Amino acid sequence: MSPGLVWRIGGARLFVRRGDLTRMAADAIVNAANSSLLGGGGVDGAIHAAAGPRLLAACRAIVAEHGPLPPGRAVITPGFDLPARHVIHTVGPVWRGGAANEPALLASCYDQCLALATAHALSSIAFPAVSCGVYGYPIDLAAPLALSRLAAGLAAGRAALAGMVLFSNDAFTVWARAAHALLGAPGEPAKDDII
């Protein structure tokens, strides 16, 4: 697994790395969920498979109480069998060309996840590329938007360590390039930088 790249933002750190999100020992990992919260393909299916059946039961209980989760919103559950203590589920927008409020909804996903991290006193959070799979959000548009929201959240003290875990080398390259353009050259990671 790639050790990743790290940028300092005040006293916090933002990372971009290649790897398997389900193996991250963060306080929370983010699930790119669908509105039903019942699992699906891609990262959603992988998280549900790794967390075990109690995650599905917890998600069913949330939907039974509050209804389907709309795009741009987030909820939190325990991590169950994952190394991460919690899973924050967010529903990204389906890409419809960019004129259907997709950028604001995607920004809200990252903001709401960071707000939940703060509310639950979680210091580290790892994200997938929300909406960039079957929902079709162009990765080259999603990366700078998401990274800017993470940087703003870290600067505001929402977490101590937050970043992206990308499954493929190609995705890692796009996100690393976007982070470099937004934040400048990465720093030298300290031993505790990468979760």
5-183 adopts what CATH topology?
Leucine Aminopeptidase, subunit E; domain 1 (3.40.220)
Please state the rounded mean pLDDT for residues 117-135: 97
Q: Count Cβ atoms within 10 A of the Cβ of residue 63 and give its class: 0-12 exposed, 13-18 middle, 19 or more buried.
A: middle
Enumerate the H helices of 67-128 as residue ranges: 102-119
pLDDT of amino acid 3: 61
Q: What is the pLDDT of residues 29-74, one digit of tens each?
A: 999 999 999 998 899 999 999 999 999 999 999 999 999 999 999 9
Residue 91 contacts residue 69 (beta carbons within 8 Å): yes
Is 86 in contact with 76 (CB distance < 8 Å)?
yes
Q: Is 111 considered catalytic here?
A: no
pLDDT at residue number 190: 59
**pTM for this structure?**
0.95
Mean pLDDT, to the nearest integer, of 118-126? 97
Of the residues 20, 27, 44, 193, only one is catalytic, namely 44
